[in-house]
Amino acid sequence: MISALKKQKDRGEELKSIYKPEFYRIQSEEGRKRLEDLLSSHKDIFVHDEIFGQLKELVKSLHPTIKIPKDEYPQYVERHLNGTDIDEYGVWVYYPWSRRLVHMLDKDEFIYLRTAANRHKITKEEMEILATKKVGVIGLSVGQSVSVTIAMERGCGELRLADFDTLELNNLNRIRTGVKNLGLYKVVSVAREIAEIDPFFKVEIYKEGITTDNIDEFFTKGGKLDAVIDECDGVDVKILCRMKAKELQVPVLMEASDRGTLDVERFDLEPNRPIIHGWLEHLTLDFDVLSNLKTAEQKLPYILPIAGMDTLSPRMKASMVEIEQTLTTWPQLATAVTLGGALTADTCRRMFLNQFTDSGRYFVDLEEIIPETNKKDTTLVFDPEPMLTNDEIQASINSTPAALKAADYVPTQDEVNKMLEAAVRAPSAGNNQPWQWFFKDGVMYLFHEKGRTKSFGDYKDIASRLSLGTSLENLELACYDLNIKPNINYLPLGVDNKLVATIIFEKDKKNNNLYQPENLFKTVYKRETNRNLGERLPIAEEKYNLIADAVASVEGAEFHYKTAPEDLDKLAAIMGASERLRLLHEEGHFEFYEKEVRWNDEHSKTTGDGIDIGTVDVTPAEVVGLKMVKDPRVVKLLAEWGGGKALEQMGRKAIAAASSVGLITMPEFNALNYLKGGRAVQRMWLTANANGISIQPMLAAPLHFARLIHGNGEGMPDFMKNEFVELRKEFLELFPNVEHKGEIFLFRLCIAREPEIKSYRYPISKVLTNL
């Protein structure tokens, strides 16, 4: 049995490249002899003889004005045969790959009858024009649907098919073929399918795909192509075929299997038209360079303009985020491929008949054309916190106890400006700069501007308190440099109390309790968040001691850190997952994209806040991923699918390049501890930077832990809450002594190159009001 199977398998291999049928016209002696030889040498041939039915259809079509009675059809057929034996009429067509012998009308009558239902949607004269056209199809997924549809309509006279790939099982969700064709070249499979529909249709195949060696032949052998349909995956071939098409003035069509996207470039009418509508003009289009693009990073600048990232459907965007996570490549559906075949074939026909002369990108989006009218709008609207008003400010100042606003010394405007220049250089969550300063009668008032900071991550304003503390630290260091002593009075920090502190000044005095003010002030304007990855290099123990001393100089503050690789790997997983969950939360997602991320320098300069994506050591592919996820519909899908693991990558990479991860705690979770803890954070940061150590906050985990622990996960969907519960357990295994404390600041320490791009700040005129 095994040997018999092997023999049959070997025979199947011999037939793998055959795609053209054999014709036997037995009216001649030679033809009859050939057919007899075929039948005698192949005993397993299946014979299909439905010639009478075809003749019946033919005579009916030839006499449209006569309603032929059923019993009279034999007479009409006999007259049409005109003495020819019915067995000899027409042609016998043998399909070697299926061992089927089919009796059918010969070419002219076959074509006439098979396309009879085209009339008059396609006229006889138009059919004659189409019969002269040659179409090249590159890529046989959508290309299969296009090719078969064109052949069915006889939308051209010749098809040239190019694809180097073979059929695999996962192609069968969109390519109409059978499992018997697995392992077959796609071009052979499509050519066979066309031959079984129309054995007279001319098809040539290029099973090596398109290369620099055969592209001229593909375009010109047997006559120049009249259109090219690009459905290939390779960036290099997409561009190569367009370069050749432009050179030869051949139009190019491309269908993208998403939202019914159809691209048309009429190089025949616009010979100077830039390829891909000019969207690649800023890139190198040399094929030697293109053919050596190996990685996704290298290909991405070319893929994006071709794909049209901004016009992809939400499901396609979400799916692309899942590539190399839960998918190996982008998805394609049979419905989209079938629609794409129809759109492309129809447009190609109209183009040949001079009924369509434009270039452009078009959409036949069925979800927009046939929408769900009862669909509820589930988009959340996030009401912004109102900005502070002068009346609100004045009321807070008026209600402040007199002892907290009795000025001993009134700083000059120049001194005030110098204080604020330092204060605004402090770090803040997402660079949201929560401070609003007011100066009146020699007293400085620090307010929390909630209009800038309201966010899901800022539970109980803890991130804002931390940032306000760093700003106070900078202000006090500037005062020391000015030989002025600030007396800082912290106000009760309730939910509704936006006045954080008052500062009364004394001249020619210095706060001798301040931690290393001279050394730290030198670093205030050099301090920076460094998101460059750097290397995992060891940091000397004495430098950790310096950082610990700086933190401990604030009463109750403690510095904890981890350096063991296995601990850092666990922290990378925790931080990566926390970043993912933050972005999968609707409000967190909104805040990240609307308040935090800035896509370029101009964007950053215009807003004066947020984080320039250029300050983050990300690859082009990661930037694309972030842009894909900008659409809230994409995030909703990822959350529903339990996906989005790719969103962890940046956080994981940051820790993979870290020397250590640090955590600053205060004795309890309360507003004042976060404010004072902010001062400890700034002392740590300035000390670390002064000693060549870079710092990057990693706050997604502790901020959401705070909401989980102290707010019972309020506002978190179940999947998010449940995962944070598990992450919290893992975190406490690494830092077992911090439970019940205020976990002020989690950060990575690393040795990295200095950032080239700095974050902008609001001008002092925006954050300081003199009353």
409-438 pLDDT, tens digit per residue, is 999 999 999 999 999 999 999 999 999 999
Residue 680 has pLDDT above 50, yes or no: yes
| Predicted confidence band of residue 281 (pLDDT cuts 50, 70, 90) | confident
- Percent of the chain's residues with pLDDT above 90: 78
Mean pLDDT of the chain: 92
With helix as H, strand as E and coil as C, how does 480-547 read? HHCCEEEEEEECCCCCCCCEEEEEEEEECCCCCCCCCHHHHHHHHCCCCECECCCECCCCCHHHHHHH
- For the beta sheet containing 22-24, the strands, ordered from the edge strand earlier in sequence to the opposite edge, are 22-24, 91-95, 100-104, 46-49
**Cβ within 8 Å of residue 445, ≥6 positions away:** 393, 396, 397, 400, 437, 438, 439, 499, 501, 502, 503
698-725 pLDDT, tens digit per residue, is 999 999 999 999 999 999 999 999 999 9
| Predicted confidence band of residue 493 (pLDDT cuts 50, 70, 90) | low
In the predicted model, what is the mean pLDDT of residues 226-246?
Answer: 93
Question: What is the per-residue pLDDT for 11?
Answer: 52
The answer to which of 121-135, 148-162, 321-335 has the lowest mean pLDDT is 321-335
* Among the listed residues 544, 519, 532, 557, the one whose alpha carbon sits nearest the alpha carbon of residue 657: 532
In the predicted model, what is the mean pLDDT of residues 640-654?
Answer: 93
721-771 pLDDT, tens digit per residue, is 999 999 999 999 999 999 999 999 999 999 999 888 888 999 999 999 886
383-394 pLDDT, tens digit per residue, is 788 999 888 888
Question: What is the per-residue pLDDT for 402?
Answer: 83
- Percent of the chain's residues with pLDDT above 70: 96
The answer to which of 40-44, 92-96, 491-495 has the lowest mean pLDDT is 491-495
With helix as H, strand as E and coil as C, how does 156-213 read? CCEEEEECCCECCHHHCCCCCCCHHHCCCEHHHHHHHHHHHHCCCCEEEEECCCCCCC
Question: What is the per-residue pLDDT for 323?
Answer: 82
181-195 pLDDT, tens digit per residue, is 999 999 999 999 999
499-509 pLDDT, tens digit per residue, is 999 999 998 87
- Hey, what are 630's tokens? 């900008």
pTM of the model: 0.86
Residue 5 has pLDDT above 50, yes or no: no
Question: What is the per-residue pLDDT for 518?
Answer: 86
Question: What is the per-residue pLDDT for 524?
Answer: 95
The answer to which of 87-101, 188-202, 233-247, 657-671 has the lowest mean pLDDT is 233-247
Question: What is the per-residue pLDDT for 12?
Answer: 54
In the predicted model, what is the mean pLDDT of residues 612-634?
Answer: 87
657-671 pLDDT, tens digit per residue, is 999 999 999 999 999
Residue 495 has pLDDT above 80, yes or no: no
Question: What is the per-residue pLDDT for 282?
Answer: 75
Contact of 251 with 245, CB cutoff 8 Å: yes
| Predicted confidence band of residue 258 (pLDDT cuts 50, 70, 90) | very high
Question: What is the per-residue pLDDT for 306?
Answer: 86
Residue 289 has pLDDT above 80, yes or no: no
